[in-house]
Structure 1
Amino acid sequence: MGNFKSLKQELRLIKSLDKSNSVTFKYNEDFFSGSLEKGTKDFLLNINSSNRFKLGDMNNLKFQFQDYEITLTNFFERSREFCSRGGNSLTVKIFEFEINGFEQHLPYCRTIIPLKRSLSFNNILSDSFEDYETEESIIRGLLRIKIPNYSQIHVFIYEKDFLVIDGIEAMTKDIFSELSWSVLVGIGYITGYLPQDEEYFFYYNDSELIGDFNFSFKTMRNSIYSIYAPVNANSHAWRLPAKSADEYYGRIRELGIEHFSLLCNLIHDIPDIKAMLLLLVESVSSSMLLMPAGLSVVLEGISEYFYNKYSFRIAPIDDKQLSSRIIADLKDVLKNYQQDPHIKNFTVLNRKLETLNSPTNREKLKFPFNYLKIPIDKLAEEVIEFRNDFLHGNINLNPKKGRPVSMDSFEISLRLLTLINAIFMKMIGYDGLILNHAKLQEKGIGKDIYEEPFLKIE
């Protein structure tokens, strides 16, 4: 497939669905009329009939819309009004439907997501843009994402109102749905905007994504918005003194397409990474009660991921056979005391020996930074310690004996976010400056932060 993108017929269908439309459908042997109306991110089917049919009778409801036959696949009865002379008025809320005009085995797939607000890759990925051509013009704004085993995925914003994701190879609908979702999670992480709400899928036999298509609509969760991207090359985008912004202008590297491709691959291949980034995106758009707790779970998840993958590098005993022998010997010693009346729970003691060669939780939390050679200072270690408070219910950060609290939840959240971003950016090979959110949001924190606004990852 080249870089020619034709969306006229697809957008014509989407825009016609946005209007109130008259539809007809068949129930038993009778034909009925109704109207199809667009909701915020779903559809409503209004039916007026003298026939008192039930929703349960309409499991495979199909209706005619213009030249298309639409099959409802996920819907429920929203309301019903009865008339004393018989019949009823029925409103059906539709979450998913499809149009299947012809048989397909492995289609070429496209998803179009209407954008509720502006989405931009400028100063984040725009250096990686390629040109793409429409019927009217040539536009610079195509991202070519490389996914092993699936050739490439094309991503572009069309007419500022639609995010488009194209599959370049034929694949099943389910595989494409998973791939496009992984790309969306990556977009949500690097931009702070995870567009969802509603998705329109198009399935073609032609590799150029033109001609006849099958189609499906799906209601999604609400889109997520935040200002907390990990990288932004425009130092003047923040409330910095002009001298400081000028000093950094031109020094901050955008992500390369190779970095974003690797991020999408990690998200797609490793469910734990996908879950962590989703939780991060949701946490930074949440309240101050949820934000630090969510980010604490993300940091815990990262440390667990690295420990499971590289546990031999952090274990107190680096020889597995020696570790097993020592544990076995200690268990033999413990057995000698199994009947001692002072031992109330022998099983618990025995299980604790199983973890003898495990590092402390603090060492596990610091391990991703050590492994990736990301330096952390005493302040960062203090922030990591606060993660334990949020996970164990000290939500209000009540001072503990010997440890005063010098930061509020907002500052801790921003510092946790920066630490987490440093890990993910290093994992995808980014070598540049990331945003130091605590410094950039010092007015919101309410105190001066004597640090650089951008931190070097190398």
Structure 2
Amino acid sequence: MEKKLWQHAIEKNQRTLDSIISTYEYSKKEHWYNVLANSPLLNGRQAKIWYEENHFHFHIAIVDDNVKPADLELIMKAKNLLLIFQNSSFEWKCDFDSVDSLSSSIQPTQGYTIIEGKLKHLKSNEKNDDKQLYTAIIQCPDENFLGSHFPAYNLKVGEITYGMRLIELSIIGQPLHFYIYGKENLKEKFLFVESIDQIEYEKFSCIINEVLLCIAYLTGISVGKEIFTLVNHPNESYKAYPYCHSIYKENIQSNKYGTILKLDDGITEHSTIFYKNGLEFLKTIIEKCILSTQYRRAILLLIKANSEEDYIKTTIYSVALESMCKLMYEKKPINPIPEKKLASQIRDDLKKIINHHAKDLQEESIAKLNNYVNNINRPSNSDMLTKPFVENNIKLNELDLQAINHRNDFLHGRLPYDSGTHELSIIALRLLYCVSCLILKYSGYIGGLNYYSFHYQHYNNLKKEGNPYYLI
């Protein structure tokens, strides 16, 4: 009898994983470096780098009584600034784009000058144009979120087998392992992303950014703010060398709402479907985010809006709704006249009528009429906002449709209810549900979706409307 996915275990080397975590922890500690710089004032100095409040900070002390404010100003304004920090353990390269902020101060009584700043990332100075095997680790607040939301393999590390902690996906042709692990003596757990085949760093980094975005959107779990990437040694499996320590570019603090249902929620209809196609959907939504800026922006809008006040939420959700409706329209047009040839013929006939009466019309009227004719086969705003749901067999109730109809009010700053009222909160959550339906369906989702307004009504002891979730 064929084993189910979650009955298989994939083994990982404990020595390798513990070594990677130790290297990560060591890199965040305070270290002193020699400085190589394209600025004569900074070249050959000593620098201190440490990690604090989600950023790397550096501090260069210049022991020189002759430093002038004009010298410092040149450094502050330098667009081609290049710094290389070297010690026996690391060699990091930082260019102008790596620097998040820069400041200087002269200490006249102590006879030295301080240059200090924050860094967006530390990247190895080692030239690396070739494909490599990479492993990235990201702090993870929930060690069970992979298996609780997606079909997963068991993970075996040493003599211990962890249930449903590893996912295997191929993203844009690149096979990857995603799994959760933490050293036994540490409370912290980490999401490991491991390339199975060699890959360029930029491609690997791009995949990770979209993986973190999709995880935050789908599960409501915001994985850590920093990404530590290592190059795996080709001959010694337990050795890996630091390549880049970066801050996740989207800085997602939290996502208040999880989108998809958990597999362990006991909802048979969802788990039966999702055990079959959940990984294919996850692969698809990640790839769509890589390939479509408009699609990933709609997802990011929802996540960012989820932590805002209701009057801001409704506006951002409305923008995301229009964006997704346009994407769905491009994917499957809903023109009133389906046949392009017939639509073109009707436009030509109407323009002939306009030209026939042109002598009796003003130029402005002719221009307006021609514009109407050119757009005669475009769907109405109402169709643009509702037909995508019909075309994808998404059944909205009357209250959902009413929320969509308020979209124009929100876009123009008009609120149908006062801010802070239950009514506005419920409308906002219905809009969130509608947008999420389109986002999920765009990537081929089949499964359960939380009906957020129902849960809000439940927790606030209000009359409940609808169901806790719907299958879409």
Q: TM-score, normalised by structure 2?
A: 0.82
Q: Deviations over 1:57-111 (max 9, x none)?
A: 7922222234222222312423423324743122232222212346551112222
Residues of 2 paired with 1:213 and 1:235: CA distance? 38
Who is 1:182 aligned against? 210
Q: Is the CA contact (8 Å cut-off) linking 2:222 and 2:255 kept in structure 1?
A: no
Measured at CA, do residues 332 and 102 of structure 1 come closer, stay the same or move farther in structure 2, by a change above 3 Å?
closer
Q: Is the CA contact (8 Å cut-off) linking 1:101 and 1:214 kept in structure 2?
A: no
Aligned pair partner of 1:155 in 178, 181, 187:
178
Correspondence 1:16 to 2:26: yes
Aligned pair partner of 1:232 in 256, 261, 285:
261
Who is 2:169 aligned against? 145
Amino acid of the structure 1 residue aligned with 2:108: C
Q: Is the CA contact (8 Å cut-off) linking 1:124 and 1:232 kept in structure 2?
A: no
Q: Is the CA contact (8 Å cut-off) linking 1:124 and 1:190 kept in structure 2?
A: no
Residue 413 of structure 1: SS of its match in structure 2? helix
Q: Is the CA contact (8 Å cut-off) linking 2:149 and 2:263 kept in structure 1?
A: no
Who is 2:320 aligned against? 298
Who is 1:125 aligned against? 149
Aligned pair partner of 1:168 in 196, 214, 217:
196
Residue 290 of structure 2: SS of its match in structure 1? helix
Q: Which range moves more in the overlay, 249-258 or 64-73? A: 249-258
Residues of 1 paired with 2:103 and 2:158: CA distance? 42
Who is 1:402 aligned against? none
Who is 1:324 aligned against? 344
Residues of 2 paired with 1:123 and 1:281: CA distance? 22
How big is the shift at 1:212?
A: 4.5
Measured at CA, do residues 213 and 249 of structure 1 come closer, stay the same or move farther in structure 2, by a change above 3 Å?
same
Residues of 1 paired with 2:381 and 2:329: CA distance? 10
Q: Is the CA contact (8 Å cut-off) linking 1:168 and 1:207 kept in structure 2?
A: no
Residues of 1 paired with 2:369 and 2:235: CA distance? 63
Residue 369 of structure 2: SS of its match in structure 1? helix
Residues of 2 paired with 1:64 and 1:132: CA distance? 37
Who is 2:4 aligned against? none
Who is 1:273 aligned against? 295
Who is 1:239 aligned against? none
Residue 71 of structure 1: SS of its match in structure 2? strand
Q: Is the CA contact (8 Å cut-off) linking 2:35 and 2:85 kept in structure 1?
A: yes
Residues of 1 paired with 2:303 and 2:336: CA distance? 35
Residues of 1 paired with 2:220 and 2:244: CA distance? 27
Amino acid of the structure 2 residue aligned with 1:37: W
Q: Is the CA contact (8 Å cut-off) linking 1:104 and 1:205 kept in structure 2?
A: no
How big is the shift at 1:205?
A: 5.5
Residues of 2 paired with 1:130 and 1:176: CA distance? 22
Residue 120 of structure 2: SS of its match in structure 1? strand
Residues of 2 paired with 1:79 and 1:339: CA distance? 73
Measured at CA, do residues 66 and 345 of structure 1 come closer, stay the same or move farther in structure 2, by a change above 3 Å?
farther
Higher helix share: 2
Who is 2:81 aligned against? 59
Who is 1:397 aligned against? 416
Q: Is the CA contact (8 Å cut-off) linking 2:458 and 2:464 kept in structure 1?
A: no
Q: Deviations over 1:294-320 (max 9, x none)?
A: 211222122111211221xx2221221
Residues of 1 paired with 2:219 and 2:153: CA distance? 19
Q: Deviations over 1:112-136 (max 9, x none)?
A: 2234x4464267425x221334356
Aligned pair partner of 1:286 in 308, 317, 325:
308
Aligned pair partner of 2:448 in 428, 433, 448:
433
- Give structure 2 stretches of 5+ with no counterpart: 1-9, 183-187
Residues of 2 paired with 1:137 and 1:446: CA distance? 45
Residues of 1 paired with 2:82 and 2:372: CA distance? 56
Q: Deviations over 1:154-173 (max 9, x none)?
A: 21222253222222221211
Who is 2:231 aligned against? 203
Residue 136 of structure 2: SS of its match in structure 1? strand
- Give structure 1 stretches of 5+ with no counterpart: 237-247, 400-405
How big is the shift at 1:359?
A: 1.4
Amino acid of the structure 1 residue aligned with 2:116: T
Aligned pair partner of 2:121 in 89, 93, 96:
96
Q: Deviations over 1:181-237 (max 9, x none)?
A: 22122111111133352222223363997535351122334223133112233787x
Q: Deviations over 1:364-404 (max 9, x none)?
A: 2112211111222322221221122212332x2269xxxxx
Q: Is the CA contact (8 Å cut-off) linking 1:45 and 1:92 kept in structure 2?
A: yes
Q: TM-score, normalised by structure 1?
A: 0.84
Aligned pair partner of 2:245 in 217, 224, 227:
217
Measured at CA, do residues 319 and 378 of structure 1 come closer, stay the same or move farther in structure 2, by a change above 3 Å?
same
How big is the shift at 1:10?
A: 2.8
Q: Is the CA contact (8 Å cut-off) linking 1:106 and 1:171 kept in structure 2?
A: yes
Measured at CA, do residues 384 and 407 of structure 1 come closer, stay the same or move farther in structure 2, by a change above 3 Å?
farther
Correspondence 1:110 to 2:135: yes
Residue 222 of structure 1: SS of its match in structure 2? coil
Amino acid of the structure 2 residue aligned with 1:131: N
Residues of 2 paired with 1:227 and 1:139: CA distance? 28
- Say what the alpha-carbon RMSD is for the aligned residues: 3.0
How big is the shift at 1:327?
A: 0.6
